[in-house]
Amino acid sequence: MNRFLLLAFFVLVSTSACFAALDRGAFTFINYDLELRVDPSGQALAARGKIILRNDSGEPQKIAAMQISSTLSWRLMQVAGKPVQFETQPYTTDIDHTGSVAEAIITLPAAVPPQGTVEIEMGYSGTISADATRLTRIGTPATVALGSDWDQISASFTAVRGIGFVAWYPVEIEAASLSSGNALFQALGDWKAREAQSSLKVNFCWINDESPLTVVANGQLLGIGRASPREEGQGITGCTPYHFAPLGLTVPTFAIGNFVALQQPLTTVYHIPEHEAVAGDYATAAQKLAPFVEQWLGQPHDRVRVVELNSAQAAPFESGGVFFTPLNSEDPKPLQLQMVHQLAHASLASDRPWIYEGVAHFLQAVEREQQDGRQAALDYMSGQLPPLVEAERAVDEAAAKGQSSPAEAERQSLINATDDVFYHTKAMYAWWMLRDMLGDQALRRALQSYRTEQDKEPSYMQRLVQAQSKQNLEWFFDDWVYRDRGLPDFQVESAYPRKLLAGEYVLTVTVKNTGDARAEVPVTAKAAQGEMSHRLLVPAKGTAVVRIRIPAAPTEAVVNDGSVPESDANNNSLKITPPPHSP
């Protein structure tokens, strides 16, 4: 099922709510207050708490449903202090690493009217061990799959991510499969967007035999964790409360272990005791890169937080400004890119993902340029392009079939995007294009003048950038930020050389754009002895002409050096055959 069929399915479900018993999209989970008991040696988790659900459908709802990971079991369900009837069913879906959830279907004591709320007290328990079923069943080799789905509770390594990885807190999402193109990411993006204003408070408690453990999560720490002995011979226990409020697009993630915190002026690295030296390499890298990030974003207002994943195969993961990663400093270049990303988060706060994440990804590309030059940066960006081309193609195909209303066309505009391929990759390119158009200085001043508390409307960033560049950028923000117009596709339609008296040439190049987004793009005249480039604004579904002076006979005209993302970069050059009798 592609992303738009899925959307159509959602609409179908919600409009038929009065007939169907279960509307999985009816309730928004607006407030969580949980206590989690984690026993690493038993791989066990037990939770108890309260969740407030708000009915955001247009119909009264008598049935509510909640999903948790399939290795957990529901134990308790109460409303207003009284047990309520509920049934549990296994439900196949790839929102959880096990490829399935345990769904509780709860009959409420009274129907909840539209916009009404109900508080449900619930408990659940079970185990969370490493499980990559959702990946192995679509053919991913087990070692690769477990490197991606590394979440687990165990004596040697406890780290668990939330929505999209492990349903360790209750959610409710219509089934989505990894084998259906972008559908899973779309469903997860929709859920996160819905929950962005919600609050999740969790008291993380642990039980251990001998030594105290530390809890690190990517929310706000509400108090210092204290350890206390349990009954004679029962080991020790402790709790650390964290608050995720508002949740935003954060994936609530916790790690529990025998961590030591390495504190440097800008950075805290939580590492296992044996890895102090490599933890120091991370902090040093951040320290060295701080002046570079400060040039762009000003002084950091927050610390860089790195949490060690004590599993060398685990893929690094970043959310909520905290970076979870195995520590490895053998190759300094990727480490520098990671630290630039985290420094960007520590320096630029924004509730808009295309700004918060987009700028962090953009500065990674700029750092890649610092390392090995512009071509390396363009290669780094184009390595991330294929999923964006794929996602934009899905939008185009839906539009061609008439499935997309104007409101839908705005769905994955950068300003509204909930799918990370847009607010990571497309946003990275948008910032890079702005930099190419305006220059470093104007863009740096614009970014440094940004204040998240003043960002009340989508055009705020446009006004800051225009104030610094003295250029009207309405067209750019319209085509790349406020609307999802897909990607351009450039071709060199024609290229005519003319020899000038002084031995120079002028190459007249006509560039065609068959896409729906305008862009300013470099056009290059190449000769055996060198090349000359000009920038050209090419309209959507149109052509533009540029004349390039070059001191030798041009042999080729090329549009786009890779700095503008386009749907097909294989049709961008035209070889020039010399005129039959040159003067």
Binding site for Zn ion (CB under 5 A): 318, 357, 360
Closest approach, Cβ 423 to Zn ion, in A, equals 10
Cβ-based nearer residue to Zn ion, 251 or 360:
360
Among left, alpha and beta (phi > 0; psi -120 to 50; other), residue 214 is beta
CB proximity list for 440: less than 8 A, separation 6 or greater: none
Q: Is 354 or 505 the residue whose CB approaches Zn ion more closely?
A: 354
Distances (CA, A) of 479 to 413, 448, 455, 472: 9, 24, 20, 13
- Least CB distance to Zn ion at residue 360 (A): 5
CB of 361 to Zn ion, least distance (A): 7
Closer by beta carbon to Zn ion, 176 or else 249: 249
Cα 66 from Cα 369, distance rounded (Å): 47
- Tell me the C-alpha distance between 162 and 535, whole Å: 45
Tally of CA atoms within 13 A in the half-sphere of 528 that contains its CB: 2
C-beta of residue 12 within 8 angstroms of C-beta of residue 181:
no
Sequence-ordered alpha helix ranges (H) in 211-320: 276-297
CB of 326 to Zn ion, least distance (A): 18
Q: How far is the CB of 484 from Zn ion (least distance, A)?
A: 21
From the CB of 424, what's the least distance to Zn ion, in Å? 8
Q: How many CA atoms are closer than 13 Å to the CA of 5, on its beta-carbon side?
A: 9
Distance (Å, rounded) from C-alpha 22 to C-alpha 222? Answer: 37
d(C-alpha 129, C-alpha 438), whole Å: 50
- Cβ of residue 357: shortest distance to Zn ion, in angstroms? 5
Task: Measure the CA angle with vertex 22, ends 16 and 28; round to 5°.
Answer: 95
* Cα 77 off chain centre by: 34
Minimum CB distance to Zn ion smaller for 40 or for 321: 321
Nearer to Zn ion, 13 or 193 (CB): 193
Beta partners for residue 158, in sequence order: 256
Q: Work out how close the CB of 253 gets to Zn ion at its nearest, in angstroms, rounded to a whole number.
A: 13
Instruction: Name residue 204's amino acid.
Output: F
Shorter beta-carbon distance to Zn ion: residue 320 or 565: 320
**Residues near 514 by beta carbon (within 8 Å), at least 6 away in sequence:** 488, 489, 491, 541
Distance in Å, CB of 319 to Zn ion, minimum: 7
124 close to 47: Cβ distance less than 8 angstroms: yes
CB atoms within 10 A of CB 30: 16
- Looking at 143-198, which runs of residues are DSSP E strands? 158-161
* Cross-strand partners of 243: 201, 220
* Residue 538 C-alpha from the chain's centroid: 30
**Residue 308 or 318 with smaller CB distance to Zn ion:** 318
CB of 285 to Zn ion, least distance (A): 17
Minimum CB–partner distance for residue 251 and Zn ion (Å): 11
- Report CA 323 to chain centroid distance, whole Å: 13
Which of 26, 415, 30, 419 shows the shortest CA–CA distance to 197?
30
Which three-class secondary structure state does DSSP give residue 528? Answer: coil
Question: What is the C-alpha to C-alpha distance for residues 464 and 372, in angstroms, rounded to an integer?
Answer: 31
| Residue nearer to Zn ion on the CB measure, 71 or 267 | 267
- String of DSSP letters for 296-353: HH-S-SS-EEEEE-S-TTPPPEEETTEEEE----SSHHHHHHHHHHHHHHHH---S-H
Smallest gap, in angstroms, from Cβ of residue 523 to Zn ion? 34
Residue type, 395: V
3-class DSSP assignment, residue 265: coil
Nearest distance, CB of residue 185 and Zn ion, angstroms:
16
The alpha carbon of 524 is separated from its chain's Cα centroid by a whole number of angstroms, namely 34
Choose between 149 and 318: whose C-beta lies nearer to Zn ion.
Answer: 318
Distance CA 421, CA 385 (A): 9
At closest approach, how far in Å is the CB of 354 from Zn ion? 12
Phi, psi of 400 (to 5 degrees): -65, -30
Element (H, E) at 164: none
CB of residue 342 to Zn ion, shortest distance in Å:
8
Minimum CB distance to Zn ion smaller for 343 or for 487: 343
**How far apart are alpha carbons 157 and 324 in whole angstroms?**
12
